[in-house]
Amino acid sequence: MAGMKRGRDVVSANDLLNLLDRKRLPNHIAVIMDGNGRWAEKKALSRVRGHREGVKAVRDTVKTCRELRIPYLTLYAFSKENWDRPKFEVKTLMHLLKRYLALEEKSLMKNNIRLKAIGALSDLPSPVYEMLKRVMKKTRKNTAMVLVLALSYGGRTEIIQAMKKLFHSRRKSLNGSIDIDEQTFSGYLYTRGMPDPDLLIRTSGEYRLSNFMLWQMAYTELYITETLWPDFRKRDLLEALLDYQQRERRFGLTGDQIRESEETHHTRLNRFHRQ
């Protein structure tokens, strides 16, 4: 991959696409879209302009994931902490979100993409919340891909709320004890019913999770790129996917155990096909 990055002007997105193993793509990609403000500052533009340009990166990323048949794409669009930003910036972000939802509704339907949102959605301004609910309802039967927007989202808040819901639902049957496993707890998270992310992409070169999907990221592969979000395009996503495919996902096991498991699986599969 290092050679590819040095030769960005030579290696095209189609060249990268041809290198992908379509059988080893992630089921769920999560993205921390960072760098809108810095992109604008570098160009002596307003932060608002940076956010507007970031919408183009969203469209391109969604389109590429749909083309690659990635089942789930989650975009960290607005955190709980973002409410503390200057009021004008927050107002602009909410306006852009509402406008994006209105403009992309037809595209989501055309491409058979379901829209889902996670977070403290009731925090959103009423017009934005109503638009979000409308588009989610309109696309709820789409099956090709799920686009998830994390809005007013905080990982710690999600975990605390999940604990409250779990204990509330079990209060009458506790009898002094309660049996909780990971699967049970996951059923009370915003992401219930969704697979955990296989790959997290963070733009702008920051090395932190920023309170994003703390429970779900236990075994997620992390990919950090210096590219600022407004500049993130198809070739950047393909580079992340190629990097992901070079890794061996162990989930706490040794490399030998993983390979032995894969060999056993392939042996059983070959026997099945011969029957």
Note the Cα 34 to chain centre separation in Å: 13
Pull the structure tokens for residue 99.
């406008």
231 is catalytic: no
Active-site pick, 9, 14, 21, 34: 34
Integer Cα distance of 273 and 269 in angstroms: 6
Active-site pick, 60, 82, 123, 231: 82
Pull the structure tokens for residue 166.
């779990």
82 is catalytic: yes
End-to-end CA distance of the chain: 41
Active site residues: 34, 82
